[in-house]
Amino acid sequence: MRACWHITGASRGLGKALAEYVLGQEDTLVYGYARHQSVFHERYVHRDTDLSDLATLESFQFDKDITCEQIVLVNNAGTLGQIAFTGNIDFDQMTSAYHTNILAVHALSNAFIRAYHQVEAKKVIINITSGAAQNAYAGWSIYCATKAAMDMLTKCLRAEMAGVANPFYTYAIAPGIMDTEMQAVIRQADETQFPRKEKFIELHATGKLIPVEQVAQAYFQFVEHCNGTEEPIQKIAL
C-alpha cells in the first residue's frame, strides 16, 4: 500500500471529507476513528472510538500490521466546547472538551510514534489547529486554550525529532473558516456569552465559508509534498 492515513473525527466535516478524498486516490488505506461511521469504502477501516473517554485513550493502540510507504496521523477530532464566559462553564463539558481537543491529540501522537518509530516510511502527524490558538475570543476559552496547547505540543514534537533518523514530520495546520456543523453552532450561540457572534453570521450570509472538500484536498497536497523542513505551525493556503 502506498499510503495509510489514520484520521480522527472521520464521520463528518473535514475528517469525513479528508477520508473520502484520500480514498479517491490510488493505493490508499484509511483508518477512521469516530463514534459513528459515515464513510463506506473497501479501503476504509472504521474504529468505533470515543476520544473523550479516558479509558479509551489509555488503552489506544494503532494497527502495526500495515506496510506503507507513507503513514499519516491526522488529529482532526475536536469540539468547540461550551460557549460561555469563564464562571459559567459546566465542569463536565469542560473536561470532555479538554479530553477530546488536547489529551486525545497527545495520547494518539504518543501511540502513533510508539507504533511506527522503527518503520521506514514517510511519517507525518497533522494536528488540525485554528486561528483561535493565537487570538483570544471571549466565550471561547476552552477552544482557544486547547488549540494553543495543540500548537505548543506540535512544537515540542518537532523539537524531539531533531537529529532522529527517519523522523516523524509534525505540523499544526489551521484550515481557515470552513462550512461545517461547528459554524452552525456558533451562529446559534448566546450573544451575551459570545460577543463576536455577528461576525460569523455575516461570514455565512456572504458566502465566505470554505467548503470542506476544498480544504481536504489542500491538506492532502500538503502531506504529499512536505519534507519536514517547513515551519511546524501552518495555515492552509487556498
- Residues with active-site annotation: 143
Q: What span, in angstroms and rounded, lies between the C-alpha atoms of 109 and 211?
A: 27
User: 124: how many CB neighbours lie within 10 A of its CB?
Assistant: 21
User: Which residues neighbour 92 within 8 Å (Cβ) at sequence distance 6 or greater?
Assistant: none
The answer to whether 45 touches 20, Cβ cutoff 8 Å, is no
Q: What is the C-alpha to C-alpha distance for residues 127 and 133, in angstroms, rounded to an integer?
A: 12
Extract the C-alpha cell encoding 166.
527517519
Angle between helix 13-23 and 212-225 (nearest 10): 60
Residue with cell 455575516: 202
The residues with which 178 forms a beta bridge, in sequence order, are 210
